[in-house]
Amino acid sequence: MLALERALLRGFLSAAESLEWKQGEVAAAESGLLLQLMFDGKYEAIFSSSAIQNVFSASPATEENIDSYLEKQILAYLDCSAEVDNVERQRLMFLLGVGSLQLFVQSNWTGPPVQLKLQDFLPPALLQNFCEPKTLHATILKMLVLDGESVYTLTCHPILLLIARIILVNSRHKLASLQLNRIWLEIKMPHGLSLCLADNIHSQLGLCMSDELNCVGDVGCTAFLEAKFFHRFPSYSQMSAVEFQLLVTEAEALFTGGESWHLAVQFHLESAYTFLFYYEYKKAKHCFNMAKDITKLQINLTGALGKRTRFQEKYVAQLILDVQRTDGFLLPHSELSPAPTPLERLTINYDLNDDTVLNEIKLADADQYQVPDLCAEELAVILGICIDFQKNNPIHKLTEEELLAFTSTRYKVEIFYEDGGEALEQVVQRCGDASSLETFKVKLLEPLANLI
C-alpha cells in the first residue's frame, strides 16, 4: 500500500507499479476503482460511484445544515465495527477527500470547467430550502468563513472544498488504517493530499489572511522540517518517546531513497509557497534551498559576453542565468517524473520582428552556458527560486534585468504536463512574467499577446 500512496502523491503510476497494482487485492475493491479514476484524472466520476452515493443517501434531519449533514454522514460511514470493512471505508473516504480537493482546484484554477451538480450526490431534502442557486452558493461560502474573513464570492463549487476539509481536517483521526495517514494529514504534502494544502487552498479564497490558516500552515510545514510534532500537536503530547520516534521514522521513510526524491522536492516547494503567502521569507528561502540541494542544481546569475541588438559590433557583458548540474549528477528513477511534452504540442515560438533587438541574446561562447535537459521537478525549482528572488528584492531596473534572465531560461526549456494535457496555465504565467517586465516595450509585447 505504501507504493500506492507514493504513486497517489506523485499523480501517476509507473509501468512497473501499474502491473503490480493490477495484480494486488486493492485493485479489485471499490477503492481500487476510485484509485484508477484518480490516476486517470476523472475526479467527477468519483461522485458517481455507488459507494460514494450510498454515503449521502440518508435523509437529513429537519432544517439540518449542509456541513453538519456531510460530517455526520461521513463519520457514520467510518464508524464501522468490522475491521476489514472499516479499512476499505477509510480508503474510500480518503480518496473522496483527495478527489474533492483536486476537483476544486481544477474548477477554480487549472480547468477544464467542472459540470458537477449538488443534486448528483446529495439528497433533495437537504437542498429543498434553497430556491435559488445563488442562495445555496452563498450559504456554502459562509460555512468556509474562518476568523470572520470574507470568502471570494466568485468561487466555483465551494462544496468540494467543504467536503475536503471535513474529511482531511475534521475527520482525520478516523483515518488510522492508512500507513502514512498521520504524516499525510499533519504535514503539508504535494498534490492536495493533506490538511495543510487544504488550508493553503482555503487561504487563497479569503479576501484577507486568516490567522487560523496561517497557524495551521506554519505548524504543518515546520513540524516536518524541524521534527517537533511532540510539542506542536496536543495529540502527540501523550506519545511515548518510542512512539514519537516511530512517527518521525515513518515520515522520513516517505522521502528517503531514490524513488522518493520527486516527492521531497515537491514537498519543500509547496512548503515554501505557503511560507511566502504569509510573508515568512526566511523559512521560504530555506525550503527553496532544500529543494535545490536535492536536485543538486547550481543556479547562478552571472555575466557573459554577448550581443543583444542587431547593430552591436562588440560583445559586451550580459546578465544570464547559468544552470548546471553538480559534477554531471543525474537524478535516479527518471520514469517517476512527468515525461516532456512532444515538440508538436509545444506552443509556437514567435519571433520579435524587432528592427533593433535580437530574438535572444547572442553569446560569444554559447556552448559554455548550455542549459542541460531538465526534468519537471528541476524546472519547478528554478521557477521557485525566481519567485523567491522577486519577493525578496525591491522594484528596481536591475531587479527586472535579473528576473528577465530567469524568464529567458524558462523559455528555452520544454514545458511539462502532469497528466498529458496542455498546461496552458504555465504558458500564461510565463507570458505574464515577461509582459510585466517588458511593460514599456510595445514591440516585445505584441508577440506575447499573439501567443496567448
* pLDDT tens digits for range 302-339: 999 999 899 998 999 998 889 998 877 777 877 788 87
The CA radius of gyration of the chain, in Å to the nearest whole number, is: 24
Our separate counts of H helices and E strands in the chain read 20, 3
Record the cell numbers describing residue 320, joined without a space.
544570464
**How high does pLDDT run on average in the chain?**
75
User: How far is 183 from 9, CA to CA, in rounded Å?
Assistant: 12
Which residue did the predictor score with more confidence, 17 or 187?
17
Question: Could you tell me where the DSSP H helices lie in 312-396?
Answer: 376-391
The mean pLDDT of 45-67, rounded to a whole number, is: 92
Q: At what angle do helices 133-143 and 66-78 cross, to 10 degrees?
A: 60
Q: Which SS3 state, helix, strand or coil, does residue 293 take?
A: helix
Record the cell numbers describing residue 90, joined without a space.
477509510
The mean pLDDT of 229-252, rounded to a whole number, is: 44
Burial of 354 per CB tally in 10 Å (0-12, 13-18, 19+): middle
Q: Which SS3 state, helix, strand or coil, does residue 144 take?
A: coil
pTM, 2 dp: 0.74
User: How far is 31 from 192, CA to CA, in rounded Å?
Assistant: 18
Q: Check: CB of residue 414 under 8 Å from CB of residue 346.
A: yes
Burial of 206 per CB tally in 10 Å (0-12, 13-18, 19+): middle
What tens digit of pLDDT does each residue of 208-219 get?
A: 454 544 444 443
Phi, psi of 23 (to 5 degrees): -90, -5
